[in-house]
Amino acid sequence: MLSIKNLHASVFDTPILNGIDLQVNAGEVHAIMGPNGSGKSTLANVIAGRPGYEITAGSVEYLGQDIAGLEADERACEGIFLAFQYPVEIPGVSNMAMLKAAINSIRKYRGEAEITAADFLKLIRNKAELVEMKQEFLKRSVNEGFSGGEKKRNEILQMAMLEPKLALLDETDSGLDIDALKIVAQGVNALRGEDRAIVLVTHYQRLLDYIVPDFVHVLSAGKIVKSGDKSLALKLEQEGYSWIEDELQQAS
Amino acid sequence: MYKAMTEVAEQNKDLKDLVKREYKEGFVTEIESDTLAPGLDEDVVRLISEKKGEPEFMLEYRLKAFRRWQKMKEPDWAHINYPKIDFQAISYYSAPKALPKLESLDQVDPKLLETYEKLGIPLEEQKMLANVAVDAVFDSVSVRTTFRETLSAAGVIFMPISEAVHEHPELVKKYLSSVVPVQDNYYAALNSAVFSDGSFVFIPKGVRCPMELSTYFRINEMNTGQFERTLIIAEEDAYVSYLEGCTAPQRDENQLHAAVVELIAHEGAEIKYSTVQNWYPGDENGKGGIYNFVTKRGLCKGDNSKISWTQVETGSAITWKYPSVVLQGDNSVGEFYSVALSHNKQQADTGTKMIHMGKNTSSTIISKGISAGHGQNTYRGLVKVLKGADNARNFSQCDSLLMGDRCGAHTFPYIEVQNPSANLEHEATTSKISEDQLFYLMQRGLSAEAAVSMIVNGFCKEVFRELPMEFAVEAQKLLDISLEGAVG
C-alpha cells in the first residue's frame, strides 16, 4: 500500500529525513517510535502532503502511485488520513458541517453521489458512539474549546467517518489519560481490517498495549535504525533509546 | 472618555492573494432613459421636485437641504482614499422612459423585467419568494412594488417614497429627517436635496408585518448618482423585517451612491433592517466601482423598542457607512451585525453608533471585517452613554480576518460615557486564515477554495444567522463568489 524508498525531506528548507525505507502493506499496523526530533511527525506530515514539507530525494508511493505531485486534498480523497498531533480550531464551523462537506468532497472525487442527510446522521451517530462522544460535540465548532483529550477523540471520530485506506496517527496518544487512551484505541482497532493500513507515530509503548502493532520501527536522526515486532517496543520502554545508539556506534 | 486603537496586521507568505472575482451583475440594460444633464444647482433641485410633481413642502425641504449642503465640506476623517469627486459631473436624475403610472406589470418595460429576472429578482408575484414583497428601484425611480394589496389589507403601507409624498404627506412631513436632519452630514444634505426615490414603510400600531419587505436597488445609467431615501416607521408594538439588495453595471468610471435611511420605532416596536450590498466593486486595479456613502440611522423612540441592523457588505469601491441606533426610550435595544469584505483595491470604513439616552438601554455590536488583496477594512464605532442613561449596557466584538500580505484591518472603537452605572465590554481580535487551518481541512478532503470558504463562513456565522433564511444563503454564495481564486 505504502512504499517509501530512500526518502529525504526538508521542513521549510531544514533537512529532517535522511533516507527512509518503509514498506507498509494492507492489513498491517506499523508503529514508528524514536526520540524527540528524530523525524517521526515529519514522516507522517510528508506523506499527508503538508505545505512546507518537501521531498528532496527518494519517493513515496501509495497504491502504486508516486504521490509527490498530489495536493493534500487529493491525497485525502485517495484515502490517506492524518490524525493531527495538534488539531486546529475552526471557529463557527460545526463538526457535523465539516464532516459532511469532507465526505461529499471525497465522494465527488470518486464520482459517487452525495451522502443523504439521513444516511449521514445515521453514520455519525454510530461513529460518535464508537469514540463515546456526545451528540452535542457534533454541533460544536471544530475543536473549539475542546480539551486535549476531546480533540484527539474528535480526530478518531473523523477517521472513523472518512474510513481511509491509510491512516497516519501522529502522537494521538500524547496527553491522554488512560480512559481516553482506551477509547482512542477502541476507535482505531475498529478500523483495522484487511484492506487498511495504520501507521502509529508514538513516543510511548503504552498505546501499543491497546493497539498491538505488527511492526515497530525506531527512527533516529531521520532514518529508520531498527525494526522489529512488538517486543522491540517493550524493550524501548524498559531500556530507553540509548542501547540502540550504542549498537549503532559499535556497528560503525 | 476617548479611546482609539489601530491594529494593522499583515499576513505573510504562502496564502496567495485572492484576485479573480467575477461580478455577474455587471451587465447594462439598454433602455431609453430620461436623464438630466450633469450638474447641480438650485434649478436642478427645482426640476427634480417638478418632475415628481411634488407638493410645496417637499420643494422647500429640498431647497433648505441644498443651501445647507453648499456651505458644508466633504468629510475627510475616514480611513479611505479617493480622488476628489466632481459633483458637477454627476447627473442627479435618471429614469427609464415609461408610462407615467403603472397599473399592472404589463405596463412595465419588458427590458426592465428582464433586468430584474437576470438579477434573480422576478417581479411577477407568482414567481416570487412567497413571503417577500419587493420594491424595485432602477436608477432614480421605483419601477415596481409587489404585494401592495396583500400588505394594505394588513394596514401596512409599502410604496415608493415618491408616491408616499402624495398619498401620505402628513406622515412624510412628520417623519422625514426626524432622525437624520438635513444638515447631519455632507452626503445626507446632498441626498435630502436631490433624492428621487426609495421605499416608504409604515406599520400601524400592533401590526406584525405579514411578510418580509425588500427593496432592490439598481444603478444602470452612466454618470448618474443614486440618491435613494428610505423611511420606515413602526408604530406601537408593530414589527417589520426589511431587506435591501443592491447591484450596478460594471463601468470604468466611479459612480456615487449616497442614500439616507431613517427608521423610527415607537413604544414596543421592533424593526429589523438587513442589507446585502453588492454594488460593483471596481476591477482588480481599482478602476471603477461605486462610492457608497450612506447614512443610516434608527431611533428607538418609545420604551421597549428595538432596532437591529444586519449588513453584509461585499461590493463598492468605497464604503462609508455607519448604521446607528439612538436609544431614546427606556429599555430600548440596539443591535448591529456586520460582515464587510474588502479585497483588490476596495476600501471599507464602516461601523456603527449606539447612542444611549434612555434608562436600562442595551446595545450589541458584532463586526466581522475580511480583508484580502490590497483591501483596507476599517471598523469605526461609537458607543455613547449620556448622563440620564442609567444602567446602559453595551457589548462590542470586532473581529478582523486577513488574507494575503498586502491588505489591512483597522479598528477605531470610540467610547464616551457620562454615566457611571454604564457597563461596557469590548472584544477585538485580528486573525488570518492560517496554513494550519487550511491544511487541516484539505487533509479531510476539501479543496483549497472550499476550505477558505468554510473558514470565512465560520468567521461570519454570528452575523449570517441574523439574516432571514433566503438572504443568509445569498450572502454565503456572495462571499464564495468573492473568494473565488483565493488560494493558488
Q: Is the pLDDT of residue B217 over 50?
A: yes
Mean pLDDT estimate for chain A: 93
| Residues B146-200: tens digit of each pLDDT | 677 778 888 999 888 988 999 999 999 999 999 999 999 999 999 999 998 888 9
Cβ separation of B454 and A87 shorter than 8 Å? no
Q: pTM for the complete prediction?
A: 0.81
Distances (CA, A) of A245 to A33, A205, B258: 14, 18, 75
A200: β partners: A31, A169
According to the model, what pLDDT value does residue A61 have? 97
Instruction: Kindly tell me if the per-residue pLDDT of B3 is higher than 50.
Output: no
CA B437 vs. chain centroid, Å, equals: 32
B224 confidence band (pLDDT: 50, 70, 90): low
What is the distance between the alpha carbons of residues B224 and B256, in angstroms, rounded to a whole number? 7
Closest CA to B31 of B101, B100, B120, B97: B97
Position A206 scores a pLDDT of 87
Q: Mean of the pLDDT values across residues B402-420? A: 90
Q: What pLDDT, on a 0 to 100 scale, did the predictor assign at position A146?
A: 92
Q: Does B98 score more than 60 pLDDT?
A: no
Q: What is the Cα–Cα distance from B161 to B149, expressed in whole angstroms?
A: 17
B7–chain A nearest CA distance, Å:
21
Is the CB of B445 less than 8 angstroms away from the CB of A77? yes
pLDDT reported for residue B324: 97
Whether the predicted pLDDT of B105 surpasses 80: no
pLDDT classification of A97: cutoffs 50, 70, 90: very high
Q: Which residue has the higher pLDDT, B1 or B241?
A: B241
Subunit contact A52:B435, Cβ cutoff 8 A: yes
Residue B15, pLDDT above cutoff 50: no
Among A120, A134, A132, A115, residue whose Cα is nearest residue A190: A132
**Cα(B264)–Cα(B89) distance, integer angstroms:** 35
Residues whose CB is less than 8 angstroms from the CB of residue B241 and which lie 6 or more positions away in sequence, other chains included: B209, B212, B213, B272, B274, B468
A8 to chain B, any CB pair closer than 8 A? The answer is no
pLDDT, tens digit, 9 for 90 and up, residues A204-246:
888 999 999 999 999 999 999 999 999 998 888 888 888 887 8
Residue B7: pLDDT over 80: no
Range with the poorest average pLDDT among B160-169, B240-249, B296-305, B479-488: B479-488
Search chain A and give the residue with CA nearest B15.
Answer: A51
Residues 169-228 of A with CB under 8 A from B: none
Give the model confidence (pLDDT) of B314-367 as tens digits. Answer: 887 888 899 999 999 999 999 999 998 888 888 888 999 999 999 999 999 999
C-alpha closest to that of B114 among B123, B106, B104: B123
pLDDT at B409 over 60: yes
Query: Cell 493500513 maps to which residue?
Result: A197
pLDDT at residue number B6 = 27
C-alpha cell, B369: 471585517
Q: pLDDT tens across B47-77, in order?
A: 999 988 999 999 999 999 999 999 999 888 8
Pick from B443, B455, B460: CB nearest A72? B443
Contact residues for B327 (Cβ-Cβ < 8 A; gap 6+) = B300, B333, B334, B354, B355, B356, B357, B358, B361, B362, B363, B389, B392
Contacts of A84 in chain B (CB under 8 A): 440, 443
Best residue in A90, A94, A143, A144 to probe B by mutation, most B CBs within 10 Å?
A90
Q: Are B109 and B98 in contact (CB under 8 A)?
A: yes
Residue B16's pLDDT is what? 32
Model confidence at B26: pLDDT above 70: no
Chain B residues in contact with A106 (beta carbon < 8 A): 445
List residues of B whose CB lies inside 8 A of any A CB: 14, 434-437, 439-448, 450-451, 454-455, 457-462
pLDDT at residue A24 tops 90: yes
C-alpha cell at B37: 444633464
Q: Cβ separation of A102 and B447 shorter than 8 Å?
A: no
Confidence (pLDDT) at A117:
93
Whether the CB-CB separation of B265 and B299 falls below 8 Å is answered with yes
Which pLDDT value is given to residue B478?
A: 74
* CA separation for the pair B242, B215 (Å, rounded): 8
B429 to each of A164, B207, B365, B380, B384, how far by Cα in Å? Answer: 36, 41, 14, 15, 22
Name which of A49, A86, A102 is nearest B446 (Cβ-Cβ): A102
What is the spatial distance between Cα B217 and Cα B202, in angstroms, rounded to a whole number?
20
Closest Cα to residue B3, out of B312, B362, B426? Answer: B426
Q: What does the block give as the cell for B247?
A: 447591484
What is the rounded average pLDDT of the residues B1-11? 28
Count of CB pairs separated by less than 8 Å, A with B: 79
Report residue B251's pLDDT band, with 50, 70 and 90 as the boundaries: low
Nearest to A82 by CA among B439, B121, B278: B439
Give the nearest chain A residue to B448 (CA atoms): A73
* A188-202, B115-129, B392-406, B434-448, range with the lowest pLDDT: B115-129
A188 with A211: CB under 8 angstroms?
Answer: yes
Q: A52: which chain B residues are within 8 Å (Cβ-Cβ)?
A: 435
Pick from A52, A76, A141: which is nearest to B443 by CB? A76
Question: B362 phi and psi, to 5 degrees?
Answer: -140, 150
Amino acid at B288: G
Query: Which of A76, A91, A141 has the CB atom closest to B442's CB atom?
Result: A76
CA distance B303 to B237: 10
How many angstroms separate the CA atoms of B285 and B346, rounded? 10
The average pLDDT across A172-192 equals 90
At B121 the pLDDT is 58
Spatial separation of the C-alpha atoms in residues B441 and A118, rounded to whole Å = 23
Residue B129 has pLDDT above 50, yes or no: no
Q: What pLDDT is stored for residue B318 in this prediction?
A: 86
Q: How many CA atoms lie within 13 A of B427 on its CB side?
A: 7
* C-alpha angle B263-B269-B272 in degrees, rounded to nearest 5: 55
Residue B169, Ramachandran bin (φ over 0: left; ψ between -120 and 50: alpha; else beta): alpha
Distance CA A178, CA A195 (A): 29
- Regarding predicted confidence, which is higher, B70 or B14? B70
Residue A31's beta-bridge partner residues?
A200, A216
Nearest to B437 among A48, A76, A88 (CB): A88
B365 with B336: CB under 8 angstroms?
Answer: yes
B480 has pLDDT over 70:
yes
Chain A residues whose CB is inside 8 A of the B466 CB are none
pLDDT at B4 (0 to 100): 31
* A contact test, residue of B439, B463, B464 with most A CBs within 10 A: B439
Report the pLDDT averaged over residues A140-149.
92
Report chain A residues whose CB lies below 8 A from the CB of B451: 73
What pLDDT, on a 0 to 100 scale, did the predictor assign at position B137?
67
Give residue A72's pLDDT band: very low, low, confident or very high (50, 70, 90). Answer: very high
Give the pLDDT confidence of B71-96 residue by residue, as tens digits. 999 888 888 888 888 888 888 887 76
For Cα atoms A43, A200, A208, give the angle at the middle one, nearest 5 degrees.
145
Q: Which of B136, B155, B144, B268 is nearest to B203 (CA)?
A: B155
> Which residues lie across from B366 on neighbouring strands?
B337, B397
Average pLDDT of the residues of chain B: 82
Amino acid B122: pLDDT: 56
| DSSP H stretches of helix in B272-386 | none
pLDDT above 50 for B475: yes
Cell 480576518 belongs to which residue?
B401
Residue A166 has what pLDDT?
Answer: 97
A70 near B CB under 8 A:
no
> How high is the pLDDT of residue B108?
62
- Rounded Cα–Cα distance for residues A241 and A33 (Å): 10
Selection from A46-55, B270-279, B283-292, B456-465 with the highest mean pLDDT: A46-55
Kindly report which listed range (B4-18, B168-182, B266-280) carries the lowest average pLDDT score: B4-18
Residues of A in contact with B14 (CB under 8 A): 51
Digit-coded pLDDT (tens) for B431-468: 888 889 999 999 999 999 899 889 998 999 888 888 87
Bridge partners (DSSP) listed for residue B30: none
Place of cell 449606539: B354
- Report yes or no: B93 and B36 within 8 Å, Cβ to Cβ: yes
* pLDDT over 90 (residue A81): yes
CB B197 within 8 A of CB B166: no
Question: Residue B156 burial (CB < 10 Å; 0-12/13-18/19+)?
Answer: buried
What's the start-to-end Cα distance of chain A, in Å? 33
